[in-house]
A and B are shown apart, each in its own frame.
Chain A
Amino acid sequence: MTQMRTLTLRLMGLFAALWALSGLAFASATSGTIKGQVIDDGGLSIPGVLVTLSSPSLIGGAQQQTADEEGRFIFVELAPGSYEVMAQKQGFGQVRKTNIEVALGRTTPVAIEMKVGAEELTVEAKKPTVDTEKASKGDSFSKEFLSRIPSGRSYQDVVSNAAGVTGGGGNPSSGGASTNENTFLLDGTNITDPVTGTFSLNFNFDAIEEIEVITGGYDPEYGESLGAVVSVVTKSGGNSLEVVANAFYMNGNWGPKMDSRYAADGYELSPTGFDEVSQTGSMGVVVSGPIVKDKIWFLGSYSYERTLYANVGVQLPRDFDGHYFFSKLTAQPSSAHRFTVQFATNPTTIDNTDQTDTRIFAEAQSRQAQGGYLTSLKWNWFINPETNLETAASFQKTFIEASGVPCTHDGNLGYHPCDPDEEENYTDYTTPGHIGLYGAYDSDNAGSYYFDDRYRGQLSTKYSLLQVNFLGKHDFKAGVDGSYLLWDQISGYSGNLIFYDYYENAFDPDTLGNYAWVETSGPSIYRSTGYHVGAFIQDVYKPVENLTFRYGLRYDRAVHRNDAGVPVVDVGLFGPRIYAIWDPWANAKTKVYGGYGRFNDTGRLSVASYLSQSNMGSKTIFGEIAGNSASGVGFSGGDYSTDNTITVLDGTTAPHSDEFSIGAQREVMTDIAVGVDFTGKFTRNVYNFDETNLIYDEDGYSYVGSGDGTLDSYYRLRTPAIALRDYYQTDVSITRNWADRWLLSATYSYVVSRGRVQNGLTAVLSNPAQVDLWYGNLPYDFRHQLKVQAAWDLPIDPWTTTIGMSGQLYSGAPLSRFYYSQADSLAAGGDSYSLLKEPRGSYGRTGATWDMSVLIEQDIPVRKGKLSATAQIDNLTNNQYPYYLASNYSYYIDTQNRYIIAYRQDTIQAQVGVKYEF
């Protein structure tokens, strides 16, 4: 009886400890938290225990705390990695708990049981399979995980492994949002492009410690996003020197090529051209280590990537050269202060960007340089274990410079290979360009130029107050952040003129009669500015030990001005969020959770630019071929008139998503958890451009009049309630942590994505008669989605061979059929295929698409360090790849009004590489 009572008490004590541990504390965007409690073998808490935290990832050396009167301890702002906790108290046997994994954005619970008079005990921690304090959706990808599964070796490619993320490339759709509604964070710094809302920086993949993709249910700390928050945390170095070098080569022509095209009615069309060249080579190195042991760590990385890609028949391949530098300095001069400085730059050149026309001449190819730099400074002030302050400042510039000759990096062309940031200086602004048949340029000058500079400066501060006792336990966090955005664009024709020769392939003064030329009023010089301000307060509240509430409020405000300084976007909105997580058996093996959150989209500078007022005017003058006529006596606008035909509506609000979620997860076997959850996400008031002058017939097929008697378009920005998306996602998942040489992560999602607008900025609703028909299946309405990642280590010693795979399956995407319209919604008098006769996305569906990639990594024993060779095959299966979906088009109309669905097998790409870690 006594034994039974003792056992009961011990179990109760252990459960009490787990209750205490299974929650609380915010882990910030760039770190994790360890929280624990020390109990005795009778289940009672032990106060005054000296708890020591150590890890190779811990700058500043080992940290020590004395457990409070309830035996609790907490370590915050920890870099992801493996940690060890040691508990010591006079009279008790010392307990050492090893292999405690700290993950990004998570709190790792640590329960320590000490016995009176016992000997020293070392216990290996078990990685929790169920996070009983987390209500957000998404996935974390540690460097260990990423080393075991195939990936494109970029953080952008990793994102699509998360459930609910669709669309390829680095800018996917998450939770039904548009591709420019994600937020990208690098070590907590917002690196989202201020103009497009897309990613804006590349760097060495081996410098990444962990990537977290949060697709919903995130805390008020995060804002400005209706899609995913992609948080990348880089390594920081350590007390020992580490070198990671790699070299990879990928060739898309090592696999078979199959290609076919079908019209929507099943009619087989002639095959499309297949990539003639598809190769990528990369090499890089990451060096990290101490400058002052335990005080100052450094990390420096460089990688070079070159990709050649050519369509069949194009003379020169698209030649992408990227140089990615990333460096980081972390200093912790005292236990209370940590400073982190970062610098990144990624100069890139792209030659031969036009791969669409096989007839284009080599000298007619256009060139592009792009890149930028990021510098940031962060200060963490650990006032005491329960209170800390984080303050950060950063500045980022990105640029695009596009023009023709003389800036090329292909020596075979004989032109000057200028540096990326020098291109602007080399461009000849004075000599008019000449364009022959099929866009061929005269070799002396390019027809046009485009220079684009984007800037983001940001400041943020966050204050955390943890372990507050008030009707339970509270962890408070509050912060403010602000960004200033600026966008400069210059585009124009050299010499403000461009000549076209209708008959010749190149400029020939003797055939002047065949010429037309466009004379412009001058280059278009555009500057847009804006700012974002956000503030939040949030709390993790545990009224009882096995129930957690995460709630808070965020306010986002944004102003984006066009080139005339007019605040086109001027919005501010609150975003309340509340979630509850319940661990019904209080054993950290089960959770039931749900909640509500509102997320706001404060927009991008591109939104304001649509209402610019200083666009370039132009007039076309025809040569003898057209009787020397002119299109007009004065300059007329291109897409937008130079006249002030814009209006700004005061009544706009920030687009926002109201998201409801509910779910459950349970550990069914050791290291294996299964889960099911449902999310309903209702996005309203998406940015939409409206036209207010033109009057349509009852179907929106043609204009029948206008407000002012002209066919001028008058635009204004709206955020109407009809610009909406309704998204439902049900996930069933199974997760197996890495243990016993294997891991598995698989999620099946049933998704319904309907609404009127997919893009974050649209003009389709400006045709009022068509508004109702635009409600239908949105382009990312892939009803069935399956994502699987798995890895297995072959048990062959001393060699270690890892086999990893990742696969994705999507059922068909909806197709819309658009019909010929006499009224183009954007250009007065323009004709286009934009008329719907049935609800959008109901015409048909493409076939299912899938891909599967396999990786084999072989460790090779060496005297020092770790050498591994990698072979990866992408798209191993006979997948069908809807070509136009890859470009975010779910339909295509050929010249015969036929709707083409172009299927193609994606290239089977093979990648080989070596990696050395020292």
Chain B
Amino acid sequence: MAPTILILALGCAYNEELPEKDILGTVIVPAAAATRLQADGTTATDPRFIGPIFLGAYSGIDTVSFGYPHPSMGPIVTADTPGDAFPYGGTTVGRYDFACYESLACKVVTGRFSDYNDMLEYFGTVLGSPIQDDNGADVANGSTFQQACYDYFYATSDQEMAFLGDLDFALNADGDFEAAFVMPHTVFVEGMTIWGWMDAPEIVPANPTESGGFSSCDVSTGREFDQYDENFREGRVYFDALNTPSQYIYAGDWVASGAEEAVVNSPDDKPVVRLDFGFGVGEAE
């Protein structure tokens, strides 16, 4: 009797009938968006070039106001300032995370690196900007990197390092990079469009030490580390990346064009968001 009652009781879980729903979907980053110039002068397609992807649910897409598809905006209340976009909900695929060294502030995105050596190779070989410790010396190996992280965070396991571990993207049959996303707690409005953009890392061949940064991250804010003679901030994403994306989208970044497959007509829809428009590049093939 008891199991039956349990099933009945739990089966009758209260339905809040919330206006918010969790939207599940897929984001596709074309191979072109992950193809960049390396420090050795060659180009390579590498998922580590995929920066943070900001996804929002909007009422529609504005293809007129900017040089790229942009979410529909609200009224302009301040002269010469574009009106904000007002998302019903949003999320990211990858986020900024501080990776133990000041030199990496605003340069590391979660879901892009498998281990410490992977990061050393990316910054040192691919970008030509080796990771430096707080004394300005190049970090020699993964073990040193790991120990620095354990000391910095008082951690005892790599599982505590959010910037390491499972990778977000996998190659799909078309040769593009694909990742699943969950946009939680989103106000569901029938016909809303999931739009997003990818902040591509800055690549500065002439000065590799400046490579790897992102325009949507503010290195002057974030948690402050202040110990002895060391004082710096860990960096932080701008809070309005989904409201005023035009402030942070520059040439080389990729945005979604808002195709029909990104329109959500039912909470059960599985929208597909293709970042198929490269700002300054055009639509990906």
B173 CB to closest chain A CB (Å) equals 25
Give the complex CA separation of A685 and B241 in angstroms: 34
Residue A692 lies at the interface, judged by CB distance under 8 Å to chain B: yes
Cβ contact within 8 Å between A695 and B89: yes
Residue B64 lies at the interface, judged by CB distance under 8 Å to chain A: no
Which residues of chain A come closer than 8 Å to B9, judged between CB atoms?
A: 598, 658, 682
Q: Which of A598, A682, A692, A707 has the largest number of chain B CB atoms within 10 A?
A: A707
Which residues of chain A come closer than 8 Å to B18, judged between CB atoms?
A: 649, 651, 718
Give the complex CA separation of A719 and B13 in angstroms: 11
Which residues of chain A come closer than 8 Å to B89, judged between CB atoms?
A: 695, 707
Give the complex CA separation of A781 and B198 in angstroms: 43
Which residues of chain A come closer than 8 Å to B240, judged between CB atoms?
A: 705-706, 709
Which residues of chain A come closer than 8 Å to B86, judged between CB atoms?
A: 707-709
Residue A896 lies at the interface, judged by CB distance under 8 Å to chain B: yes
Which residues of chain A come closer than 8 Å to B278, judged between CB atoms?
A: none
Residue B237 lies at the interface, judged by CB distance under 8 Å to chain A: yes
Q: Which of B22, B94, B243 has the largest number of chain A CB atoms within 10 A?
A: B243
Cβ contact within 8 Å between A820 and B223: yes
Residue B212 lies at the interface, judged by CB distance under 8 Å to chain A: no
Given contacts A598-B9, A837-B159, contact A719 B14 (CB under 8 A): yes
Number of interface residues of B (CB under 8 A): 53
Q: Which residue of B lies closest to A718 (CB)?
A: B16
Which residues of chain A come closer than 8 Å to B16, judged between CB atoms?
A: 649, 651-652, 718-721
Give the complex CA separation of A660 and B54 in angstroms: 46
Residue B2 lies at the interface, judged by CB distance under 8 Å to chain A: yes
Cβ contact within 8 Å between A704 and B5: no
Cβ contact within 8 Å between B20 and A695: no
Residue A381 lies at the interface, judged by CB distance under 8 Å to chain B: no
Q: Which residue of B lies closest to A654 (CB)?
A: B14
Cβ contact within 8 Å between A704 and B15: no
Residue B219 lies at the interface, judged by CB distance under 8 Å to chain A: no
Given contacts A596-B2, A658-B10, A837-B160, contact A695 B56 (CB under 8 A): yes
Which residues of chain A come closer than 8 Å to B223, judged between CB atoms?
A: 820, 822, 831
Q: Which residue of B lies closest to A701 (CB)?
A: B95
Residue A265 lies at the interface, judged by CB distance under 8 Å to chain B: yes
Given contacts A658-B6, A705-B242, A820-B223, contact A265 B159 (CB under 8 A): no
- B14 touches which of A699, A705, A721 (Cβ 8 Å): A721
Which residues of chain A come closer than 8 Å to B84, judged between CB atoms?
A: 709
Give the complex CA separation of A768 and B153 in angstroms: 25
Q: Which of B22, B56, B90, B236 has the largest number of chain A CB atoms within 10 A?
A: B90
Residue B185 lies at the interface, judged by CB distance under 8 Å to chain A: yes
Residue B252 lies at the interface, judged by CB distance under 8 Å to chain A: no
Which residues of chain B come closer than 8 Å to A698, judged between CB atoms?
A: 91-95, 110, 181-182
Cβ contact within 8 Å between A682 and B243: no
Q: Which residue of B lies closest to A660 (CB)?
A: B2
Give the complex CA separation of A538 and B126 in angstroms: 75
Cβ contact within 8 Å between A682 and B92: no
Question: Of residues 205 to 252 in B, which have CB atoms within 8 Å of A's CB atoms?
Answer: 222-223, 236-237, 239-244
Give the complex CA separation of A431 and B185 in angstroms: 48
Cβ contact within 8 Å between B160 and A695: no
Q: Which residue of A lies closest to B96 (CB)?
A: A702
Q: Which residue of A lies closest to B56 (CB)?
A: A705
Question: Of residues 254 to 272 in B, which have CB atoms within 8 Å of A's CB atoms?
Answer: none
Residue B148 lies at the interface, judged by CB distance under 8 Å to chain A: no
B254 CB to closest chain A CB (Å) equals 17
Cβ contact within 8 Å between B243 and A706: yes
Which residues of chain B come closer than 8 Å to A263, judged between CB atoms?
A: 154
Which residues of chain B come closer than 8 Å to A703, judged between CB atoms?
A: 237, 239
Give the complex CA separation of A705 and B244 in angstroms: 9
Residue A838 lies at the interface, judged by CB distance under 8 Å to chain B: yes
Which residues of chain A come closer than 8 Å to B15, judged between CB atoms?
A: 651
- A662 touches which of B2, B95, B153, B244 (Cβ 8 Å): B2
- B237 touches which of A649, A704, A718, A720 (Cβ 8 Å): A704
Given contacts A652-B16, A704-B242, A769-B91, contact A697 B154 (CB under 8 A): no
How many A-B residue pairs have C-beta atoms within 8 angstroms? Tell me.
135
A617 CB to closest chain B CB (Å) equals 23
Residue B280 lies at the interface, judged by CB distance under 8 Å to chain A: no
B236 CB to closest chain A CB (Å) equals 5
Which residues of chain A come closer than 8 Å to B5, judged between CB atoms?
A: 596, 658, 660
A722 CB to closest chain B CB (Å) equals 10
A532 CB to closest chain B CB (Å) equals 20
Cβ contact within 8 Å between A896 and B154: yes
Give the complex CA separation of A897 and B15 in angstroms: 39
Which residues of chain A come closer than 8 Å to B154, judged between CB atoms?
A: 263, 265, 896-899
Which residues of chain A come closer than 8 Å to B20, judged between CB atoms?
A: 692
The 8 A CB mask of B78-103 against A (1 = contact, 0 = none) is 00000010111111111111000000
Residue B162 lies at the interface, judged by CB distance under 8 Å to chain A: yes
Give the complex CA separation of A702 and B98 in angstroms: 13
Residue B156 lies at the interface, judged by CB distance under 8 Å to chain A: yes
Which residues of chain B come closer than 8 Å to A769, judged between CB atoms?
A: 91, 184
Which residues of chain B come closer than 8 Å to A837, judged between CB atoms?
A: 159-160, 162
Residue A594 lies at the interface, judged by CB distance under 8 Å to chain B: yes
Q: Which residue of A lies closest to B90 (CB)?
A: A695
Give the complex CA separation of A707 and B189 in angstroms: 13
Which residues of chain B come closer than 8 Å to A822, judged between CB atoms?
A: 222-223, 236-237
Q: Which residue of B lies closest to A711 (CB)?
A: B239
Q: Which residue of B lies closest to A653 (CB)?
A: B14
B180 CB to closest chain A CB (Å) equals 11
Residue A829 lies at the interface, judged by CB distance under 8 Å to chain B: yes
B132 CB to closest chain A CB (Å) equals 23
Which residues of chain B come closer than 8 Å to A463, judged between CB atoms?
A: none
Question: Of residues 580 to 601 in A, which have CB atoms within 8 Å of B's CB atoms?
Answer: 594, 596, 598
Cβ contact within 8 Å between B87 and A768: no
Residue B139 lies at the interface, judged by CB distance under 8 Å to chain A: no
Cβ contact within 8 Å between B87 and A695: yes
Which residues of chain B come closer than 8 Å to A596, judged between CB atoms?
A: 1-2, 5
Residue A684 lies at the interface, judged by CB distance under 8 Å to chain B: yes
Cβ contact within 8 Å between B88 and A704: no
Give the complex CA separation of A461 and B60 in angstroms: 61
Question: Of residues 1 to 43 in B, which have CB atoms within 8 Å of A's CB atoms?
Answer: 1-2, 5-6, 9-10, 13-18, 20, 22
Q: Which residue of A lies closest to B3 (CB)?
A: A660
B29 CB to closest chain A CB (Å) equals 15
Which residues of chain A come closer than 8 Å to B74, judged between CB atoms?
A: 709
Residue B187 lies at the interface, judged by CB distance under 8 Å to chain A: yes
Which residues of chain A come closer than 8 Å to B52, judged between CB atoms?
A: 697
Residue A817 lies at the interface, judged by CB distance under 8 Å to chain B: yes
Give the complex CA separation of A649 and B90 in angstroms: 22
Which residues of chain B come closer than 8 Å to A598, judged between CB atoms?
A: 9
Cβ contact within 8 Å between A709 and B243: yes
Residue A248 lies at the interface, judged by CB distance under 8 Å to chain B: no
Give the complex CA separation of A702 and B52 in angstroms: 13
The 8 A CB mask of A753-775 against B (1 = contact, 0 = none) is 00000000000000011010000
Give the complex CA separation of A460 and B2 in angstroms: 32
Give the complex CA separation of A179 and B134 in angstroms: 47
The 8 A CB mask of A821-858 against B (1 = contact, 0 = none) is 01000000101000001100000000000000000000
Which residues of chain A come closer than 8 Å to B243, judged between CB atoms?
A: 705-706, 709
Give the complex CA separation of A704 and B153 in angstroms: 24
Residue A262 lies at the interface, judged by CB distance under 8 Å to chain B: no
Question: Nearest 6 A-B pairs (CB), nearest first?
Answer: A705-B242, A768-B184, A768-B185, A697-B95, A697-B92, A695-B90
A652-B16, A705-B56, A709-B84 given. 6 additional CB < 8 A pairs? A263-B154, A598-B9, A682-B6, A704-B241, A709-B74, A838-B160
Q: List 24 A-B contacts (CB under 8 A).
A: A649-B16, A649-B18, A684-B10, A685-B14, A695-B87, A695-B90, A697-B91, A698-B92, A701-B97, A701-B162, A704-B90, A704-B92, A704-B239, A705-B87, A705-B240, A705-B241, A707-B87, A709-B74, A718-B16, A817-B160, A819-B153, A819-B160, A822-B237, A898-B154
Binding site for A on B (CB under 8 A): 1-2, 5-6, 9-10, 13-18, 20, 22, 52, 54, 56, 74, 84, 86-97, 110, 153-154, 156, 159-160, 162, 181-182, 184-185, 187, 222-223, 236-237, 239-244
